[in-house]
Structure 1
Amino acid sequence: MAVVRVKKRTVKGRLKTISIFIVIGATYWIADSLVDAYIYRKGNLTSQIFPLPVDEVYMRTLTVILILIAVYALSAIGKQKKGEKALQESEEKYRSVVENIGIGISLISSDMKILSLNSQMKKWFPDIDVENKPVCYRAFNHPPKEDICSYCPTCKTLADGQNHESITDTPAGDKTRNYRVVSSPVKDAEGKVIAAIEMVEDITEQISAQKALAKSEEEYRELVENVIDVIYNISVDGTILSLNPAFETITGWAQSEWIGKNFSSLIHPDDLPWALTLFHQILNGEFPHSYEFRIITKTGEYRTGEFLVKPKFVDGKVVGAFGMARDITERRIAEQALRESEERYRLLFQRSPIGIVHFDRELFVTDCNERFENIVRSSSEKLLGLNIKTLEDQSIIPAIKSAIDGTEGFYEGFYRATT
């Protein structure tokens, strides 16, 4: 389509030029006829136009040709000047782009010498003098190298005439800079590669950020893989997206057995309504406190988990939830055993046939059973909080202090109680 349009424009241009030449020639012919008829009185206007003597036709034709040649020459000169101006403007624009673009540009000869550098390259390598045409692998490296860089894309371009790209490890004193270099061939009229253009971008900070990110991700991965708590990700529809190895350790299920499935099937039926309520609160952007649910293991038993979960945001929108779950089954069993033990102790304490009283280290009464109340003929309301040192009879105090210090305290005899 483009070729057809170009041809149409060329034909129209030629027809326009021919038309202009015809108009110029006809105008001159009529003007010369007017001059001969009315100024030189060589007959009337009609006789001066046609037919004419051969010598007059020859002179007018020659004059028209000379005029057309002059017009064409002036037009060609004008076009040439216009083209030169456009070329100059184009070169200035190109030079401006090359000098002010944010990447480095260098021209490298076929023998690896630096022929030119733009302003960005000069900023990166201020010590390079292009006039001396230094060898690139020596000039760009500090300390200088004696051989071509192993990753050099320009060397490949000069060899095969193709574009090549690589990332460099350029020594710069006690540091290393990383550049992305794209090389393109420069060919002569015969298609022979005579040089290469390098487009250079400093990506040192980008590489450093990538390495830091990779290190951070590796540390995070190690943490997730080795933590004793379950770490999980759930989508908005409740599908489990990821689980760490602790899930398998605690439940016996392989991670692959539950990734892609809904979490609700793991929850004890009695706990499920509350779990779903909390999940919907989280999807609404709320941050509930930690809570406990029982989850089923591969053996069919249930273990108690303490869950901490938060909404997961992407661009300000909740796209799921993530959190941690800790197995607290043994803790809950121990707490229940402790409660039962305390209940048994309390029962034994209250129903003991002997009087029992507790003192703290300051000798304040902290507890006593009913038998003790009966012995001293008092009540717990009066006894609790009483400091034994305030009583008139101090004979029992040494025995109490011995017991508090960790040795057996013994007292036998009469004791006067005034409570």
Structure 2
Amino acid sequence: MKNAVKVRNVGNFVTSTASALVQNASTVTGAASAPKTRRAVFPFTAIVGQEEMKLALLLNVIDPKIGGVMIMGDRGTGKSTTIRALADLLPEIEVVADDPFSSSPIDAELMSDEIRQRLEADEQIPVAKRKVQMVDLPLGATEDRVCGTIDIEKALSEGVKAFEPGLLAKANRGILYVDEVNLLDDHLVDVLLDSAASGWNTVEREGISIRHPARFVLVGSGNPEEGELRPQLLDRFGMHAEIRTVKTPELRVQIVEQRTEFDQEPQDFLTKYQDQQGALQEKIVEAQERLKSVNIDHDLRVKISQVCAELDVDGLRGDIVINRAARALTAFEGRTEVTVDDIRRVAVLCLRHRLRKDPLESIDSGYKVEKVFGEVFGIATEDAA
């Protein structure tokens, strides 16, 4: 009997409702539920403030082709906590159970060459469900640790491509988080950005070449006091969020109390936010499904490009990312037509890090983007603080 598959595709994070591969009237279901002993993660919906960072992360989950997020801000502002909370919030994905790359059993763009060949040969594929992976990339990681290595001795002696997967393989269809990315070696940053853009990682050594899917949301964070990324690398991040320490005493007290409550009774705290977490997860899934039907008017696209031109933004990445981010925001809010307000809310996130910096200019890049946006779209913007 021909394999039958019923799929609900939600962007690059494929959350299949059913992936039954039927052969000889038997169904292979390798789906495994998450272990109850899994470490508790602070809930995303309980995080107070930092709306700019949360919005940028959610939009990249809805459309990973936006290109990732660079988060710059003060130490101790919850960057790592928020990213781990987002990964925990995401729905489980269906993967090929015996595949080291978390290949999708039904989407050719998200499966390794080996799995594709097995499917073409009508081989029975075991399927499992797995939480979306969040992979931390340490600053001291080597290129072999990131990309993976080829065992040349085994390849020559046994005639097989012996490949030891790296962090990029583990991050496929998940989130790759690099803390203090501005301190990471530029060569490694190049490797990460190339893989994030192409969706594939290729390892070559001594005439042997192996490639595997590496489609992930790249999230970098850092403190601007410790140095900036080179402009050509910074430009390749889709969005740039700036976060600051909360100054309001009441909010600071609320954050401290929430953290204390979570640390003392994590399960009770998670139960309190269970309904909100479920509602947001469902909203993300619906937005991923709705994304393809979202439209953006031609006149709005022209004005987006006009804003980029007047800001003297190099290249076309700014135009492309604003279009994608505005569509993702529209889908997230349950609509199918992009509005001017949607574009306004993502413009600063998409452009502030692409502007040419004048050492004699003291105007914040966010204010500059808002000012030009208001002039092009003919709307009033808030004065800079």
Q: TM-score with structure 1 length normalisation?
A: 0.16
Larger proportion of strand: 1
Q: Which has the higher contact order (CA 8 A, sep 6+)?
A: 2
Larger radius of gyration: 1
